[in-house]
Structure 1
Amino acid sequence: MASFGQVLERMQNESVKTSENPEAAAAVRAGLNLNADFWDDFIKICNQSKALSELLGVRRDVIARWPNEVRKALAQIERQDSAEAMNKKASLITTGYN
């Protein structure tokens, strides 16, 4: 199992494209399922990069990139969810009953 630092280091080293990175998508969805504000809170914590750096043993410049990577992943998830909702809506058959 990858450590927290390793997962986030990987996010820093490569562009997060959830369609190509199911692990990133799973992490984003897990955070959203845990708490609707999870990623907003995570980004706020990342603003305290010195303390977080000491806690996790990760360089401050690496931590500074995390909020942007998280935002990109969230946007990708939202686009995927919107596309899936549109496809589902388009496939529904109207029955005349409301």
Structure 2
Amino acid sequence: MTDPSWKPPVGPDEAVAGALLVLLRGILLWILVPGGVIVWLLFVGWSGVTLGNFLGWLDYNVIVLLQKSVFRPWLGHTGLQRVPWARIRELKHRINFGGLF
């Protein structure tokens, strides 16, 4: 899931981009969590995927999407790779309450 050749970005531009990424993620979680719960209840819950796995997968892939699109000019190659649906049960990422703020 993480490229071993990745090195953390350093410098003021990267620090600002990282802070903005965390802020934008916090805002998006207010949409993703309620929407994700509804989608899980309607379509995913019967497949044996837990709510925690689904929300963690959703959040992780949104972080990867943001880093590879909006924040790519500042963060460059982050080493994170998208997790396909087939590997959702392997993902250990979870959303915590502090991520919403």
TM-score by length of 1: 0.31
Query: Quick check: which has more Rg, 1 or 2?
Result: 1
Name the structure, 1 or 2, with higher relative contact order (CA <8 Å, separation 6+): 2
More helix by share: 1
Q: TM-score, normalised by structure 2?
A: 0.31
